[in-house]
Structure 1
Amino acid sequence: LALGVVAMALGETDVHPRGRMKSAGIALLLFFLISSITELTLPYPAIFAPVLAIMAFILVLVGGIDSRLQGVTFGSLLILVYTMLGAGNSDKWFHQPLLLTAGALCYSMVSILLLYHRPYRLLTDQLSRGFSYLAEYIELKAGLFPSNPAMQRSIRNQLAQKNTQLAQQIEACKNDLYSYSEESSPDAQSQLSSYYRKWFLLQEMQERVISSHEQYDLLTEQVKNSELIEGFGQLMRELAKAIALYAESMITGEPYRHPLSLRWTVSAMQRMLEDAKGEAHHLTLSLLMRNLIGLEKNLRENEESGSQIDLSAFYARKPERKRLRELLTPTHPRFRFAVRLTLGWLLGYGMMLLLHFEKGAWILLTSLIVFQQTYSATRMRLFHRVLGTLLGVILGVALAQLLPTHAGHILLLLGSIYAFFYWLKKNYTIAAIFITTFVLAVFNLLSSQGVEVMLPRITDTLIGGAIAYLVVRFVWPDWQYKQLPTLLHAAVVKSKRYFESIYDGSVSDEEYQHNRRQAYNADNALTSAWKGMRLEPRKSRQYEESAFNLTNLNHALLSYISAFGVHKHSEDLTEEERLFCQKVSGVLHYAAELLTGNADQSRLDALLQEASCWEERIEELQNKKANRRAGLIYNIAHVSRELLIETKGILNSKSK
């Protein structure tokens, strides 16, 4: 019963009560079917081995269609392994399928009833988490005002990680909103619109927070008034506290109260900036201040920020779905993942039979949890799983001695599963500790052998982890250096489109938001691939230095474009500024073409020569007071030129 609850809870993805009922119905049917087939064929290894392979391959492949089926099929794979673990505990084959399904049914009933009681709770949780990440990002960024060269690299690395979390969370909010829209009736649209506007607000504030108006070390060195720079850091910290309060108010349901300390800090900074009029970098600092005031205004007015966008088109949006035919190709990552997991399970089952492990299904369970679609993700998950299991065994054995009674085991079981789900999305190592103590409590309740099965669990975990590592390492290894050219091209193209959306006045707000989100997601994918590349074997890290430089340049480009986008409504661009933007866009287009090998390379030297004269052209623009955003455009132009030079370097290294 308890394992049925765990499988259903881990496979749960739908945020709407009606959608959750649909996924629960599919899951319960699959759970009973998979468990029954496993029970009936497990005593006959020659039959069970091909059945295991077929079920694993089909379930993994079908899980790639959409998020609902991904959750349901993952739960079904867990049920398959749990059935193997519990085989032999009953004389009747149907006892275990019924009990596992009954546990899943009990959980589903409670889950659906709670969701009907508070139908928007999960949407609120997701959006609140997004604002929390935003607060953490700006708190980290405050450490760059003033900039300490010794700390700058560390802070930038932390900012990159937090930016990845934020981009992924915004995408998760989008998927949940689209899923909710699909299941909602027209009567619910007015209430759902409030959540869409909060999502728009989160994206607008993300653009403000990620934007860079100037190099931070340059500002720290050249601005004479150090208190002014420190004041910007303090204002950012106050904003971070206010955003965290806003995120908390969404969870608690209490009305958000804008902090008086934030208003006071804004007023104090405005006076300090006014006193520094005429100093170097005053225009840059004024634009930065305008951005932070805009952030404070976003927070104060919250949902009013997205009120200009027509929501009618969003109510018809649906979550992304793939056709099964798309997945049935050897080049698709999901197909390769299905093949790897199937092979890993067959090897694990073979080891279980060869070594006569009574509870050898833990090998399969470890492989299922550890297997990820990339080598680097698998390696990280393997480390967390093994460490968590070892620590969990130590903690579990100690707690079993302290709580030797049935009541103590039940208390340990309930406490462990609560702690597991609490930590699952926060820290997988800690989650693995508590799922291990949960298993110990389960076996103590079933047969008073919880402590005895811990040593086999460690052995099986190590074997299952080793199998997962070897299969991912040698079977269709999907090295990141093969993906980087495609990801770099996509990132540059989408950054260019985002840039053009700012200076092209014909783009609608909805299209602008879409282009901005696409650019952030492409940058996030590129950064994640680069991080994954660093964990891969050294011989597979081709073009490592160039990839690192291009990844950093693209992120810097996106930060400067964001700063440009923040001020797009403040005043119209002059014709000179617009023409210069078009030249920069042309360089970005050419760099993207170079990455795919489709560019006319005879134009390269002429473009580089033209770009080398941009400083003089920017100085001419800045001498005219009307060109107030020439400095922001120059930052974009400078990084675009560096990106073109780095791309040329990759071409030269390939031709040698």
Structure 2
Amino acid sequence: MHYALNPRTFFHSHYFHLGLRFGAGLVGVTLIALRFADMATAMTVCIGALCTALMDMPSPLRHKFNEMLASVLLCTAVTLVISLCGPVPWLLMAMLVLVSFLACMMVVYGKKSMPLQLAALFIMTMSMEHVMTARESLIHTGLFLLGGVAYLAYAMAIAWLLRHRIKQQVLAEALFELAAYIDIKADFYDTRHNLTEQFNKLIRHQGQLADRQQASRDLILRSHQNRKDAIVVQIHVCMLDLYELVLSTHTDYALLRTHFADSPVLQTLRALAYKAARDIESVGYAVTRKRPSFPAIGYEAELDALEGHILALRGEIDTGKPKQEALAVLRAQRNKIRAIIRMAGELHVASQNEYEGTPFWVDADMQPFLSQQRYELQLMLSHLRPDSPVFRFALRVALAITTGLVVANTLPYAAHSYWIVLTIVIILKPSFSMTKQRRADRIVGTIIGCVITALILRFLNYTPVIVGLLILSTVATPTFIYLRYRYAAISVSIMILLQMHLMAPGNADLITERLVDTFIGAAVATVFSFVLPNWEYQSLPRLIRQVLAMNLRYMQSSFELLQGKCRNDFRYRIDRKRLMDSLAELSGALGRMLDEPASKRRAAEDINLFIVQNYLLVAHVAALRAILRRHARDIPAEAVNAMLAHSHGRVCRTLARALAQHGAQPGDDIELPAEGPAPGETAVPWTGWPLVQRRIRLLQADADKIIVHSVAIVRDVRT
């Protein structure tokens, strides 16, 4: 279950606060408008506020203002154009198609532009039903602009007042996602769970965790000026360090299961990992409540039991039962879990202290860690070509809307063309998988919403009750729109139907008409999801090249850090973030491809294994860092660096070969190191030597497997 759907955390999440802010703003703007004008005027002002509210998301203040101002200006322009074209049917039709096309082209600017695209299409559909004179169009547009500006001022004032609170909520969400990630890792010790399925689950969750961590970075690292901000910065840094420790816990789980399946030691490890996840959740829980966090979970019983199991297993070595290597792996896991428990304790401490400043990378440029958003016209123009997925999506939506309008005009009953068009623009998404999911949510949500509305109008048809339920559904819509769209579809259906009932009571066919229009819009969207499609396998070569290139950079920066050539891990952190982002993007594409028709799937198993192997390289590097830190005393630097240099050269050249298989070469700033002589087999008298040797062997073996899967992917995708 998503943390925000848990009643314990729901009312403190930024999703619920977004719903409250959204609902209070819309109701407030509408009531103020009603104080000075009639219902029709107030609803126009309300629609202006609604379109602006769609861009009301957690963002740094400057970005938030720019995004919401763009929504106000764009939607006002769309309102004016569509209103002026209303008296001329053929011109209106042409402008609807053009606006739809241009709005969908904005997808080129990434996720942040999706609400802006929806706002533009929404106001387009709302404006197309009204035929007005030029003077009425100008007045209507002015009222719309007034509503948009009013909500913009309100939202910015609230965002400024709650700027620290929003940082806490977004940070808490990242902590809850990290706890869920550890829960998945804990199940690797449970023999009831298939290892392959667990890896797939882990990789899928990796994308969600990367998104939440990036949202936290964007808010927290852009501006931190006071003691309150310093606290969330320190918690954020501890969270990232803890994340690296969790990465380092990857080990040979098959080996542990083979030798210790009958021993309680694996269940003890799982219990410790599970408790660590609850410990991290408790920090997130405290952060959402603006409180310091104090440890409330004890690990002593499990740690003592683990030591007892290890002592008993050491005694069994003499009888030849478990192998020495398996016991060494087990001891390493114990040490890593102890390190995670200590770091969880540091998370609690970070939430308790007040800091004078934020010493974390004081003189460093944070920009590489932050999302970069540039709204340049040239970028959109560069995608005006037939092979661009964005261009094909925009054309697909424009054709679907044209068809929807034609169908609405030929139906025997008074179809509401704006509702059909709205259904089409909500369902049709850039990918087939997203369209498929949105269609199911929209249809199911609309049916449930219509049934609930019918029951309300049948048994609770009292104006105060209806107004109360209308406000409740207004709050619920934005709360769930990014959390569970199906719930949002239910609440928005109730909201619009109750609103229409208040404005025009007595329409007995209100609910039936909306259901029929929804099914028509869904049918049109379904048909056009196969028109000019962009199948996920077409983007796979680019995404795979991106992963390999990022991994090559990551290996360079990580081995420089491991060999002591670089004392600051700033570049290492940047390259790790970029690699994880690229893996999350490839994993998302794979998940979407599996929802597409079977004939459009390519190399699914090899891509999955390719993602896993690249992820394992990151885990091995994190484990090497942990080993070198844990055994830093009396480290034979020359021998260790020679081993690392040999491994570095071999792994980097392996990745470069895989990159060449996909028709690309390392960047000009990447200098492939010489492999160097292989280190001798003579054991070095240092406690960490066998651990480093074993981890490097695993690193090289997993790098070699990348080549195997890369060849298979190239063959299948080309076929």
CA displacement, residues 218-250 of structure 1 (integer Å, 9 cap, x when unaligned): 212213772222111111111111111111111
Equivalent position of 1:28 in the other structure = 72
- Of the candidates 611, 614, 624, which is equivalent to residue 551 of structure 1? 611
Shift of 1:378: 1.5
- Of the candidates 361, 385, 390, which is equivalent to residue 309 of structure 1? 361
Equivalent position of 1:632 in the other structure = 695
Shift of 1:624: 7.5
Note if contact 1:31-1:97 (Cα within 8 Å) is conserved in structure 2. Answer: no
The within-5 A match list for 1:238-277 is: 238-262=275-299, 265-266=302-303, 269=306, 272-273=309-310, 276=313
Higher mean alpha-carbon deviation, 13-22 vs 73-82, is at: 13-22
Note if contact 1:13-1:67 (Cα within 8 Å) is conserved in structure 2. Answer: no
Note if contact 1:491-1:522 (Cα within 8 Å) is conserved in structure 2. Answer: yes
Shift of 1:30: 3.5
- Of the candidates 663, 687, 705, which is equivalent to residue 642 of structure 1? 705
- Of the candidates 212, 225, 241, which is equivalent to residue 204 of structure 1? 241
Alpha-carbon distance in 2 for matches of 1:568, 1:308? 23
TM-score by length of 1: 0.86
Equivalent position of 1:537 in the other structure = 597
Equivalent position of 2:102 in the other structure = 58
Equivalent position of 2:649 in the other structure = 582
Alpha-carbon distance in 1 for matches of 2:686, 2:242? 31
Alpha-carbon distance in 1 for matches of 2:230, 2:183? 30
The within-5 A match list for 1:54-453 is: 54-62=98-106, 64-65=108-109, 71-84=115-128, 92-93=136-137, 96-97=140-141, 100-149=144-193, 151-177=194-220, 181=222, 188=225, 192=229, 194-223=231-260, 226-262=263-299, 265-266=302-303, 269=306, 272-273=309-310, 276=313, 279-302=324-347, 309-310=361-362, 312-314=364-366, 319-328=372-381, 329=383, 330=385, 331-355=387-411, 357-448=414-505, 452-453=509-510
SS in 1 for 2:662: helix
SS in 1 for 2:596: coil
Note if contact 2:231-2:350 (Cα within 8 Å) is conserved in structure 1. Answer: no
SS in 2 for 1:261: coil
Shift of 1:108: 3.4
- Of the candidates 494, 510, 515, which is equivalent to residue 570 of structure 2? 510
Shift of 1:473: 1.9
Note if contact 1:576-1:621 (Cα within 8 Å) is conserved in structure 2. Answer: no
Matched AA of 2:503: L
Matched AA of 2:216: C
SS in 2 for 1:281: helix
Q: How many pairs does the alignment contain?
A: 633
Alpha-carbon distance in 1 for matches of 2:270, 2:516? 51
Change (3 A) 1:416 1:650: closer
Alpha-carbon distance in 2 for matches of 1:348, 1:386? 17
Note if contact 2:537-2:717 (Cα within 8 Å) is conserved in structure 1. Answer: no
Alpha-carbon distance in 2 for matches of 1:311, 1:247? 29
Alpha-carbon distance in 1 for matches of 2:601, 2:107? 31
Shift of 1:424: 2.0
Note if contact 1:502-1:568 (Cα within 8 Å) is conserved in structure 2. Answer: no
Note if contact 1:495-1:519 (Cα within 8 Å) is conserved in structure 2. Answer: yes
Alpha-carbon distance in 2 for matches of 1:652, 1:621? 43
Aligned CA RMSD, in angstroms, stands at: 3.5
Shift of 1:264: 5.6
Alpha-carbon distance in 2 for matches of 1:322, 1:280? 55
Note if contact 1:148-1:217 (Cα within 8 Å) is conserved in structure 2. Answer: no
Alpha-carbon distance in 2 for matches of 1:120, 1:70? 26
Higher mean alpha-carbon deviation, 249-258 vs 98-107, is at: 98-107
TM-score by length of 2: 0.79
Shift of 1:450: 6.7
- Are 2:522 and 1:465 equivalent residues in the alignment? yes
Alpha-carbon distance in 2 for matches of 1:249, 1:107? 31
- Are 2:544 and 1:488 equivalent residues in the alignment? yes
Equivalent position of 1:607 in the other structure = none
Alpha-carbon distance in 2 for matches of 1:620, 1:346? 75
Change (3 A) 1:226 1:318: closer
Identity of aligned residues (%): 19
Note if contact 2:191-2:261 (Cα within 8 Å) is conserved in structure 1. Answer: no
Note if contact 1:115-1:121 (Cα within 8 Å) is conserved in structure 2. Answer: no
SS in 2 for 1:386: helix
Note if contact 2:55-2:68 (Cα within 8 Å) is conserved in structure 1. Answer: no
